Amino acid sequence: MPIDYPKDADPHCKRAKFIPDKLIQDTLEETAQPHSSQSHELEEIRDLLSHCQHRAVEAWDYWLDSIGRGEGSIAFEDESFIIVDQGQHERPGDHLDTYEGSVDVDESAEDIVTAIHTAMAQVLTHDSWDDSYAYVIRKPPLWQITEEHAVRRIGSLARDRGSVGRGTDAFAVDVYGESQQSWADKTDRTRQAVNNSLKRGNQSAASE
């Protein structure tokens, strides 16, 4: 079932403020079709981006399931953003099929929304994203599925790193942002022990 997470509970759904005006405007100019009668204003695109943000948060449990099936992957995560690599399966603009607002959703609008997600991913990761579609999600405050997300991410990292312990260390240090010393203190170990665990985990992930 989708998470019952009303838009009012997520300030990032309001006009998708986490996406800069300049990035949207630049994308509108880059995707403009010469001699086309179709055009979209910045605020219209913000309404569509707001829908994509809410859609991702509301359906995050489904997304985790699809990631588990290999239909996508979490390509980037920090304290503010998650980027889902959707491969060639689905574009961000395809999620506008559930939009019920006042903006006319045409192919041009879908292309613009997809291009904006790509541009945001490029800014956050410094990668080109030429071969797959990026879906950028701004983490909402008080996210109701934080615990499930943590458990599933640790499980995924444990598979990649070769053990639950290494996966947990990777989640705490690489994803959550704990320093090695802080995490060592919290788990009653030395910093060197944490460092060794992370190194072995990275070696295991690289060998797959």
Q: Are residues 35 and 75 in the same domain?
A: yes
Residues β-bridged to residue 134: 85
Sheet holding 81-85, edge to edge: 73-77, 81-85, 134-138
| Average pLDDT, integer, range 183-208 | 93
Q: Is residue 1 part of a domain?
A: no
pLDDT per position as a tens digit, 155-172: 999 999 999 999 999 999
Q: Are residues 166 and 202 in the same domain?
A: yes
Q: Tell me: pLDDT of 6 over 60.
A: no
Q: Tell me: pLDDT of 9 over 60.
A: no
Q: Is residue 166 part of a domain?
A: yes
Report percent pLDDT > 70 for the chain.
88
Q: Is 155 exposed, middle or buried (0-12, 13-18, 19+ CB in 10 A)?
A: middle
Least confident of 22-26, 166-170, 175-179: 175-179
- Last residue of a domain, which of 118, 138, 158? 138
Q: Are residues 48 and 112 in the same domain?
A: yes
Number of neighbours of residue 41 by Cβ within 10 angstroms: 11
Domain boundaries, position 151:
146-207
| Average pLDDT, integer, range 170-189 | 93
Q: Are residues 122 and 169 in the same domain?
A: no
Q: Is residue 11 part of a domain?
A: yes
> What's the Rg (C-alpha) of the chain?
19
Q: Are residues 110 and 166 in the same domain?
A: no
Number of domain units in the chain: 2
Q: Are residues 152 and 62 in the same domain?
A: no
Q: Is residue 38 part of a domain?
A: yes
